[in-house]
Chains A and B, each alone.
Chain A
Amino acid sequence: MVRNIVVLGGNSHPALVDSVCNALSLPPCNRILTKFSSGESRCEIQDSVRGKDVYIIQTGFGGNGSRLNDHFMDLCIMISACKTGSARRVTAVLPLFPYSRQPDLPYNKAGAPLFKAGSESGKKDYTFDSVPATPAPGIPKSAGLTNGTDITSKLLKTSLTNGHGVQSPIKQQNGDSYFPANGVNGTTTPSPVTRAGAYTTHDYENLSHIGAFQAKPGYKQWVAQAGTLVANLLNCAGADHVITMDLHDPQVQGFFDVPVDNLYGRPLLKRYIQQHIPNYKDAVIISPDAGGAKRATAIADSMGVDFALIHKERRPTKITDRQNASMMLVGDVRDRICILVDDLLDTGNTITRAAKLCKKEGATKIYALLTHGVFSGDAINRVQASAIDKVVVTNSVPQDKHKALLGSKLDVLDISPIFAEAIRRVHHGESISVLFNHD
């Protein structure tokens, strides 16, 4: 029994709240958290929080009929309510940090943007040495910049990207395509906009909107990055401390003015490998993209297991067998068990393509270990149809529905002991770093 501590749960993950409270042997705080019929959140905290150490658990996951932005607003409102209710300290516990992935313009696998670029007007006037005019009455604004698309199209023709799919030298590989309809394997992309499944980074809920959008001529459109904003909003609501797990970008920690404890799911994943994967010493741990290499090498190193990396090649000069669309495997996996390790499974694009490549390279069995299993969009079907033999995720977001759909293909690890211990330690002012390296 821990005293002077209040654990308050949001609506996003009640099961996790219960098990964390169980581990701390205290009841969750009584609260009313619903919506008024107008759509505004209604929050009433029914237990006293005066002078207490309050921990609010809300994960960045919308699903099962609830919305992510609702949960985030609920969290801010709860934090603010506890602050005005004279709580001594309010800690936001976000097992999955919302908006932690820095979005990018949607582009197809060949690297061509899905949004239409602005029409290229008047590019004859443009030279690379053009200097924007100083705006003044009567002088057209940014004379030299009005045809910026020219740069874009010039860049597209250089070797930075494949250019548009129709010109791509890669031919569609037939036969072993897992999702012919989605075109995950395909690189023939006559019209990127009309084709579902070709986009990367994030899937969109309604693709039809994208096609209609056109930037102003000469302007290269960009997507707003909400990570800093979310951090600032939590600060502004009054969070004194943030606990999260496996941030997609560790830099997000730097967006905050308050302490952020970034817990690791790594020990759990490691234990799973050791206990459930036979002959894991002979397996290969693979990072599906270069960004996750550090995460994967850390596990590989600590267990003395071989490591391989999948490189997203954007400029194939020569087509070899090692290549799957624009992906390339660095390392040897033939006749070995592959363990793909990453932090986040969102639409499942990266991981399923990585699995496919491993299979092609002769892997015997493929495990995918991920901290956060969001399974958004058609991820469930994609994973179901993929070469992955087993997906292992933590319950940082509710997994009941995913488990019901994926059955024995999905294993769920419980993170509530880690969070309960972190809460206990933060409350007592003990070191958290012990949690980072225990095995």
Chain B
Amino acid sequence: MSAEMANEIKLISGRSHPELSEKIAKRLGIEVARTISLNYSNQETSFTVGESVRDEDVFIVQSTATGDVNEGLMELLIMISACRTASARRITAVIPNFPYARQDKKDKSRAPISARLVANMLQTAGANHIVTVDLHASQIQGFFSVPVDNLYAEPSFLRYIRENFNPEDCVIVSPDAGGAKRATSIADHLNTAFALIHKERPRPNVVGRMVLVGNVEDKVAILVDDMADTCGTLVKAAAVLKENGAKSVLALVTHGILSGNAIETLNGSVLTALVVTNTVPLGDKVQRCPKLRVIDISPTVAEAIRRTHNGESVSYLFTHAPV
């Protein structure tokens, strides 16, 4: 047996996104810890630990697989709790796509603030630290009383734009007012123009009328958002941009949840490309949608894990994307 020191990185992978865990492990030059999650026939989740986590620095990678959010969340909680009872020194939940991030406010009477519930549950289970990517609302960090490192996909997006387009031909467009900050930040870094689409949303997962604020004529319009779920917003926004004279429209989105008929919607849209990161497992969606491009986020997450473990600053990653 090799000379292992105590308090090393133990990377534990949930079932939701093993590919990402593998990539992170490879990047860190370690192996994913030997654990296995299963469901009993009565559907209870079972988690078996096959190596010691005593006094180790445990990182548990669990994303949200589309359609299986609660399963993944419960599995994550059980994994955290198991590591805590097994005397792990520190437990960091690496949740690239934070579940229930959109249910973050009491927008009507008796609406649950599920994001806060999830935050409380993670802490109750025993998480000492959270690493996530592009929280829907950064205020969610305030739901936690443990440190939350909210990484950005922005540096990766900036590189993608610089490598594939001439920034002078581009306009960065935010598909809603809420994402304006995210989009302006990218526009500022690239020194390009910025536009905004105002939308009305009568019901969840349904999009109403849209108005473009700004000029996109003869430009490559780049829509920037944090998540693409059913893609109704993106596709409608793309149509609005096209109507307003955009040369072509593409979308840069951190979390490609792509639920429901998203793939069909995308295939039939005027979008030339949808660029997502691999925070959410995409399965066969890349094959089913020729417009889908994937940026690998694992170098950023792996570097955050390495820096967290070594007690180095993570803020470098907010502006730089490791290759």
A38 and B257 within 8 A (CB) = yes
Write the B44-60 contact mask toward A (1 if CB under 8 angstroms, else 0): 11111111100000000
B161 within 8 A of A: no
B64 and A39 within 8 A (CB) = yes
Contacts of A69 in B (CB 8 A): 43, 45, 70-71, 73-75
Please indicate which of the listed interface residues B6, B110, B125, B205 has the most CB atoms of chain A within 10 Å of its own CB.
B110
Question: Which partner residue on chain B sits nearest A104 by CB separation?
Answer: B46
Question: Which partner residue on chain B sits nearest A115 by CB separation?
Answer: B48
Write the A205-241 contact mask toward B (1 if CB under 8 angstroms, else 0): 1100110011111110111111011001101110000
A44 within 8 A of B: yes
User: A75-83, A164-172, A285-293, A423-431: which one contacts chain B?
Assistant: A75-83
Contacts of A42 in B (CB 8 A): 204
B287 within 8 A of A: no
From A115, A140, A232, contact of B125 by CB (8 A) = A232
A216 and B205 within 8 A (CB) = no
B121 within 8 A of A: yes
Question: Which partner residue on chain A sits nearest B47 by CB separation?
Answer: A224
B78 and A77 within 8 A (CB) = no
CB-CB contacts below 8 Å: B33-49 with A: 34, 36, 38-49
C-alpha gap A74/B70 in the complex (Å) = 9
Question: Which partner residue on chain A sits nearest B125 by CB separation?
Answer: A229
Contacts of B102 in A (CB 8 A): 40
CB-CB contacts below 8 Å: A85-107 with B: 85, 98-99, 101, 103, 105
Measured between C-beta atoms, what is the minimum distance from B61 to chain A in Å? Answer: 17
Contacts of A222 in B (CB 8 A): 48-49
Contacts of A206 in B (CB 8 A): 38-39
Q: What total of A-B pairs shows CB separation below 8 Å?
A: 217
A138 and B3 within 8 A (CB) = yes
Contacts of A61 in B (CB 8 A): 42
Question: Which partner residue on chain B sits nearest A205 by CB separation?
Answer: B39
C-alpha gap A224/B230 in the complex (Å) = 36
Please indicate which of the listed interface residues A214, A222, A228 has the most CB atoms of chain B within 10 Å of its own CB.
A222
From B1, B49, B78, contact of A226 by CB (8 A) = B78
C-alpha gap A218/B52 in the complex (Å) = 10
B44 and A98 within 8 A (CB) = yes
Contacts of B74 in A (CB 8 A): 69, 72-73
A224 and B70 within 8 A (CB) = no
A80 and B117 within 8 A (CB) = yes
* Chain B residues bordering chain A, tally (CB within 8 A): 66
A203 within 8 A of B: yes
Given contacts A36-B205, A38-B229, A43-B112, contact A229 B41 (CB under 8 A): no
Please indicate which of the listed interface residues A46, A99, A137, A228 has the most CB atoms of chain B within 10 Å of its own CB.
A99
C-alpha gap A216/B6 in the complex (Å) = 16
B68 within 8 A of A: yes
C-alpha gap A135/B6 in the complex (Å) = 6
Measured between C-beta atoms, what is the minimum distance from B244 to chain A in Å? Answer: 29
C-alpha gap A374/B40 in the complex (Å) = 12
Given contacts A44-B110, A80-B117, contact A204 B3 (CB under 8 A): no
Question: Which partner residue on chain A sits nearest B258 by CB separation?
Answer: A38
A118 within 8 A of B: yes
Contacts of A224 in B (CB 8 A): 46-49, 78-79, 81-82, 85
B100 within 8 A of A: yes
From A217, A218, A236, contact of B121 by CB (8 A) = A236
A67 and B70 within 8 A (CB) = yes
Measured between C-beta atoms, what is the minimum distance from A32 to chain B in Å? Answer: 10
A84 and B110 within 8 A (CB) = yes
C-alpha gap A63/B43 in the complex (Å) = 8
Given contacts A105-B48, A219-B50, A224-B46, contact A44 B6 (CB under 8 A): no
Given contacts A41-B70, A204-B41, A219-B50, contact A80 B259 (CB under 8 A): no
Write the B244-287 contact mask toward A (1 if CB under 8 angstroms, else 0): 00000000000001011000000000000000000000000000
A45 within 8 A of B: yes
Question: Secondary structure at chain A's binding surface: helix, strand, loop or mixed?
Answer: loop
Contacts of B52 in A (CB 8 A): 142, 216, 219
C-alpha gap A236/B117 in the complex (Å) = 8
C-alpha gap A203/B231 in the complex (Å) = 40
A37 and B40 within 8 A (CB) = no
Question: Which partner residue on chain B sits nearest A70 by CB separation?
Answer: B70
C-alpha gap A140/B102 in the complex (Å) = 47
B124 within 8 A of A: yes
Please indicate which of the listed interface residues B73, B74, B79, B103 has the most CB atoms of chain A within 10 Å of its own CB.
B74
Contacts of A218 in B (CB 8 A): 1
A223 and B51 within 8 A (CB) = no
B50 and A376 within 8 A (CB) = no
A62 and B42 within 8 A (CB) = yes
Please indicate which of the listed interface residues A46, A68, A105, A146 has the most CB atoms of chain B within 10 Å of its own CB.
A68
A336 within 8 A of B: no
A-B contact list, 28 entries, CB within 8 Å = A36-B229, A38-B69, A39-B70, A41-B114, A48-B110, A62-B42, A84-B110, A85-B109, A121-B1, A122-B1, A135-B6, A138-B3, A141-B5, A142-B52, A202-B46, A203-B41, A209-B36, A219-B51, A219-B52, A221-B34, A223-B49, A226-B78, A229-B77, A233-B77, A233-B124, A236-B117, A347-B41, A376-B42
A residues with a Cβ closer than 8 A to B are 36-46, 48-49, 61-63, 67-70, 72-74, 76-78, 80-82, 84-85, 98-99, 101, 103, 105, 115, 118, 121-122, 135, 137-142, 146, 202-206, 209-210, 213-219, 221-226, 228-229, 232-233, 235-237, 346-347, 374, 376-377
Give the 9 A-B CB pairs with smallest separation, nearest first. A377-B41, A215-B50, A224-B82, A81-B112, A216-B51, A85-B110, A68-B43, A37-B260, A376-B42
